[in-house]
Amino acid sequence: MTTANTTGTALLTDGVRAEATIDLAALRGNLDALRARTNGPELMAVVKADAYGHGAVHCAREAVAAGTRWLGTATPEEALALRAAGISAAEARILCWLWIPGGPWAEALRADIDISVSGQWALDELLAAVRETGVQARVHLKADTGLGRNGCQPHDWPDLVAAARRAEAEGMLNVVGIWSHFAAADEPGHPSIRLQQDAFALALAHAERAGLRPEVRHLANSPATLLLPASHYDLVRPGLAMYGLSPVPEVGAPADFGLRPVMALTARLALVKDVPGGHGVSYGHHYTTPGPSTLGLVPVGYADGIPRHASGTGPVQVGGKWYTVAGRVAMDQFVIDLGGDHARVGDEVLLFGNGEHGEPTAEDWGRACGTLSYEIITRIGARVPRRYLGASE
Ligand SMILES: *Cc1c(COP(=O)(O)O)cnc(C)c1O
């Protein structure tokens, strides 16, 4: 038995404090929508950070079942976890890009994982692991085309390319990818976009002159996948858009790109009580009831990923109506002022959903908290169980 919300959709499992519902059919639809917006490149499903809070193994399996041949993670540990969960090299290539000295190079080689290299130190450690394991590496050389984060600076690029080419000639590795990452693809017209595309073309041309023949050249994240066809090359790497959120809310809502939000977050009222006017609410009494009122206790807090910055601003829906977080978000709970409205303990609170029934979205939460929808979904904590709907198998 599940509680029905106002639209009759079963959302929250009985007896469950809070739950993140993951709509895998929406995830598949989003992958289709992204394919429809690109003309030919392979699609890499970016499943880092536990698939932006959606569950990396479930989402990776679903993406693979839907025909996606590439998965992307930040850390090698995330990539290894996907292989350990049974996603084989025959099913999907996995690229990971955030390495530190002493990282699990040998384990990654043995698990048939593609490895990003941004500098000479990383190439040295990788080659040591190649000698140790006897496994030839598949390398994606990463250029810093202007983001100023990871990636090799233009002045170091020729040396890195030459060293990789030498190792390739010795049979130690294959440079299968040349790649980079945008700084501001989510701000259409930002001058850095053109500059980075030009810098990437130069880095590629240099690598090719040096004899490298990458199988995939890749640059595009979600906003570039949606808005910059010239950046698609052989592979696009959408993260956020795959989870159905718009990376460019000022340009278009998810539906404008054929996307549907995958995660909904619900909780169950843990207490409903009448209080007199002038009653302080939650730590610090930053909210005081303006008159006699009814408070509802929502049993999720910042330990569950509800930002403390949502204090006084986060939107929720109960019985079809919006309310705002009253006072501070605490570690495990927050309060809403139901005013004169009627609600019962156990009633469902919809924090965010796909917005199709007028409920708040992760985008609304991001705006309320002065952050991005990216951060809202990714923060949802391990204490919130995920329930998967619409799996393909
Ligand atoms: C996170 C990430 C992506 C995906 O970014 P979105 O904006 O979520 O599409 C792509 N490439 C790299 C290198 C990333 O770190």
Q: What is the dihedral of CA 332, 335, 336, 337, to 10 degrees?
A: 170
Find the CATH number of the domain harbouring 121. 3.20.20.10
Could you list the residue range(s) of the whole structural domain that residue 267 is in?
263-389
Note whether residue 281 is domain-resident.
Answer: yes
Q: pLDDT digit string (tens) for 3-38?
A: 434 444 557 899 999 999 999 999 999 999 999 999
- What number does the ligand 1 atom closest to the CA of 74 have? 15
- What number does the ligand 1 atom closest to the CA of 237 have? 10
- 10 Å CB burial of residue 132 (0-12, 13-18, 19+) is exposed
Q: How far apart are CA 290 and CA 339, in angstroms?
A: 9
Token pair, residue 219, equals: 């640059």
Token pair, residue 105, equals: 């190079």
Q: pLDDT digit string (tens) for 184-238?
A: 999 999 999 999 999 999 999 999 999 999 999 999 999 999 999 999 999 999 9
Catalytic residue among 233, 243, 273, 283: 283
DSSP codes joined into one string, 148-214: -SSSB-TTTHHHHHHHHHHHHHTTSEEEEEEE---SSTTSTT-HHHHHHHHHHHHHHHHHHHTT---
Note the pLDDT of residue 4. 39
Q: pLDDT digit string (tens) for 121-177?
A: 999 999 999 999 999 999 999 999 999 999 999 999 999 999 999 999 999 999 999
Strands (E), 279-347: 280-281, 287-288, 293-298, 315-318, 321-326, 334-337
Distance of CA 349 to the CA centre of its chain: 24
Q: Which residues contact 90 (CB under 8 A, 6 or more apart)?
A: none
Looking at the fold, whether 98 and 162 belong to one and the same domain comes out as yes
Give the β-pairing of 315-318 and 348-352: antiparallel
Which of 211, 243, 275 terminates a domain? The answer is: 243
Q: How far apart are CA 58 and CA 263, in angstroms?
A: 13
- Around ligand 1, the residues with Cβ closer than 6 Å are 46, 48, 97, 181, 221-222, 237-241, 247
> To test the ligand 1 pocket, which listed residue (147, 181, 233) has its Cβ within 8 A of the most ligand atoms?
181
Looking at the fold, whether 60 and 186 belong to one and the same domain comes out as yes
Looking at the fold, whether 98 and 176 belong to one and the same domain comes out as yes
Find the CATH number of the domain harbouring 333. 2.40.37.10
In this structure, the residue with its CA closest to atom 1 of ligand 1 is 239
Note whether residue 350 is domain-resident.
Answer: yes
Q: What distance in angstroms lies between residue 315's CA and the mean position of ligand 1's atoms? A: 27
Looking at the fold, whether 176 and 315 belong to one and the same domain comes out as no
Looking at the fold, whether 183 and 295 belong to one and the same domain comes out as no
Catalytic, 48? Answer yes
Q: Which residues contact 100 (CB under 8 A, 6 or more apart)?
A: none
Q: How far apart are CA 89 and CA 83, in angstroms?
A: 8
Token pair, residue 315, equals: 């939107």
Look at residues 255, 180, 261, 178 and name the one whose alpha carbon lies nearest to residue 224: 180
Note whether residue 352 is domain-resident.
Answer: yes
Catalytic, 243? Answer no
Q: Count how many domains the chain has.
A: 2
